[in-house]
Structure 1
Amino acid sequence: MNKKVVVASKNPVKINAALAGMQKILPNVQFDVTGCDVPSGVSDQPMTTQETWEGALNRANNAKESEPEADFWVGMEGGIDKDEEGKMFAFAWMCVLDNNGNMGKGQTGVFYLPPKVQQLVEEGVELGHANDQVFNEVGSKQKGGAVGSLTFGALGRTEYYVQAMVLAMIPLVNPKLY
């Protein structure tokens, strides 16, 4: 039996990460994954952990509203925040809703941004565009993302998101525990 998954984005990184994460935690299930463009309800570059979470949650809810005939709806939102020293770090939140009314959430690890990227972001440039400028790339957020550029491809954006997707699925695959 195939499970239909709607990802609240047309970005292939997010679609592939959702599929890979679900396949890891539910290896005996076949998934049909599609993307849809829906608003996040937050700024293009979320600047706090809370705003980033709200974007992921809003995307999942908006995907469910847009395409109600599915088994799962996934919202992913990349964001940035600052530590107590004012150094900027990046991360992403995953929100997964199922057709039983349950919700799971997972967060990626964090990584720190170089000062040149931080400066551009503070000047209002979205992280993906700042990354492209600093690393002389084009469309990096549809590929390896900032994490891919900074790790020389050792960890790409898709792989980076997969673990957080698995974590977001925990309450959905263990409903009796939650």
Structure 2
Amino acid sequence: MATSRTLRTRARILDAALDLFERQGYDATTVNQVAEAAGVTPMTFFRHFATKDAVLVTDPYDPLIAEAVGDQPGHLPPLERTRRGLLAALGDITPTEDATARRRVALVARSPSLRAAVAVGTEATQDAIVERLVADGTDRLDAAIAAAACLAATTAALLAWGTAPDDVTLAQLVRRALAHLAPAGAPS
């Protein structure tokens, strides 16, 4: 479990990085500049974030998402369990997390060099969902297809959100994206 000091240091690094990325651009900002702005050493930066792109594309939500998927009724098809789990996980994001996520997503949406990092982050989320579904008895291929489909829709919504008007929420766009995968008559 992370200590409050560790969480504060991580938040300070994240805030400094976002400020610098927004001011200077992602590609023009170095890890040393972020560390200096956050008042930490580069080594401390790397204790919290494995790479510069990790500041923007990693998040603590994979276990939450996997748990939300696992909490869905087991009689539902894997795609519907995953879709509903992602929708349920949205409700646990605080307004502060939402504002920080919007800044991160806006930067990613404007930086083509980060697309590969987004794919890696999405793969980690997919793996967490697949493992949860498999643990509940779902065939691995069926679990992978369900997770990939829902995450593709969610990623499209995330990238659109980064450049959407301020009054459009992440939850609105993700609900809209996942509604395309809902069976007829299912709640969206």
What TM-score does the superposition give when structure 1 sets the normalisation length?
0.30
Select the structure that is richer in helix. 2
Select the structure that is richer in strand. 1
What TM-score does the superposition give when structure 2 sets the normalisation length?
0.29
Q: Which has the larger radius of gyration?
A: 2
